[in-house]
C-alpha cells in the first residue's frame, strides 16, 4: 500500500464555517495574535486567553466536517494515509481519519500550564463540559490551559511529521500558504521521486526546485479532482 501524506491548513476547514486564523470577521480578527496565540500573551493575561479558546471551542462543536475532510478520510481504503494538520480542530477525526498528527495542538483538549506535553496531564473536553475556568487544575496541580502550541513554544510533533513526509510516496498540501514554519518546511522532506499535489484557490509560492501539481480550487472541490487522480496511482 502506497504511503499518502496530507499537510492541511486552515483552508480545509473554511467550508465547515469554522473561524480560521486569518479569516476576516472571524473571532481571531478581534484580538492581537500576540495576545491570544503566544506564550507571552498567556502569561500576561491567562484569563483572556483561556476565555478566547473557550469561545472558539463552542464554535467548533457547532461545526461539521465538510466534503474535503470526508474525501481525505475515504482514501484510507486505498492508501496508508497520514494527515499532518496545522489546524487545532478535530474535523479530520470526526470525518473518519484515524492517523492525524496535530502540529499546533488540539482545541478539544486541556493540559498543564507547567508541563503542557506531559501525557498524564492532557485531558479531552466534552461537548457538555467545554470550558476551562481559572482555578481548574491539571493532574500536576498547575492551572489547566488549552492544549495549543502557541508562538514561542516548541512544536513537539514536528519530528513525527517529518518522518511521515520522508516516507511519503504521495504528498498533498491542502489549504495552507506554506508561510508558517516549521510546518511549511515539511515539503522539503518529501523524497524526490514522490508525487506532490497542492490544492488551494489562491496561488501558493512553492520552494524552488520542487515539482508540484497544482489544483487551483477550494479544498472540497479540489479533493474531488484529486481523488480521481490518486485512484489511478494506487
Give the active site residues. Answer: 104
Cβ neighbours of residue 174 under 8 Å, at least 6 residues apart? 6, 7, 8, 9, 11, 12, 68, 72, 198, 199, 200, 219, 222, 223
Q: Give the long-range contacts of residues 33-37, CB within 8 A, separation 24 or more.
A: 33/151, 34/151, 37/148, 37/150, 37/151
Residue 38 is classified by DSSP as B
Query: Distance (Å, rounded) from C-alpha 206 to C-alpha 188?
Result: 10
Q: How many residues does the chain have?
A: 234
Q: 3-state DSSP call for residue 220?
A: helix
Q: Which three cell numbers stand for residue 40?
A: 507571552
Query: Distance (Å, rounded) from C-alpha 79 to C-alpha 83?
Result: 12
Amino acid at each position: 500500500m502506497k504511503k499518502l501524506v496530507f499537510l492541511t491548513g486552515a483552508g480545509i476547514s473554511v467550508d465547515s464555517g469554522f473561524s480560521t486564523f486569518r479569516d476576516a470577521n472571524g473571532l481571531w480578527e478581534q484580538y492581537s495574535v500576540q495576545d491570544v496565540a503566544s506564550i507571552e500573551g498567556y502569561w500576561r493575561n491567562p484569563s483572556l486567553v483561556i476565555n478566547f479558546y473557550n469561545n472558539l471551542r463552542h464554535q467548533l462543536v457547532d461545526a461539521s466536517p465538510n466534503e474535503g475532510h470526508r474525501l481525505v478520510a475515504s482514501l484510507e481504503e486505498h492508501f496508508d494515509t497520514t494527515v499532518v494538520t496545522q489546524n487545532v480542530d478535530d474535523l479530520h477525526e470526526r470525518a473518519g481519519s484515524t492517523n492525524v498528527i496535530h502540529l499546533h495542538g488540539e482545541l478539544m483538549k486541556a493540559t498543564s500550564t507547567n508541563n503542557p506535553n506531559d501525557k498524564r496531564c492532557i485531558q479531552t473536553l466534552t461537548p457538555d463540559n467545554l470550558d476551562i475556568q481559572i482555578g481548574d487544575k491539571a493532574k500536576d496541580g498547575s492551572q489547566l490551559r488549552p492544549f495549543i502550541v502557541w508562538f514561542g513554544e516548541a512544536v513537539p510533533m514536528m519530528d513525527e511529521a517529518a518522518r511521515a513526509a520522508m516516507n511519503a510516496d504521495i504528498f498533498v498540501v491542502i489549504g495552507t500558504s506554506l508561510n508558517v514554519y516549521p510546518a511549511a518546511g515539511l515539503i522539503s522532506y518529501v523524497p524526490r521521486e514522490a508525487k506532490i499535489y497542492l490544492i488551494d484557490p489562491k496561488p501558493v509560492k512553492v520552494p524552488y526546485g520542487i515539482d508540484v501539481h497544482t489544483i487551483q480550487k477550494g479544498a472540497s472541490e479540489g479533493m474531488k479532482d484529486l481523488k480521481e487522480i490518486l485512484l489511478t496511482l494506487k
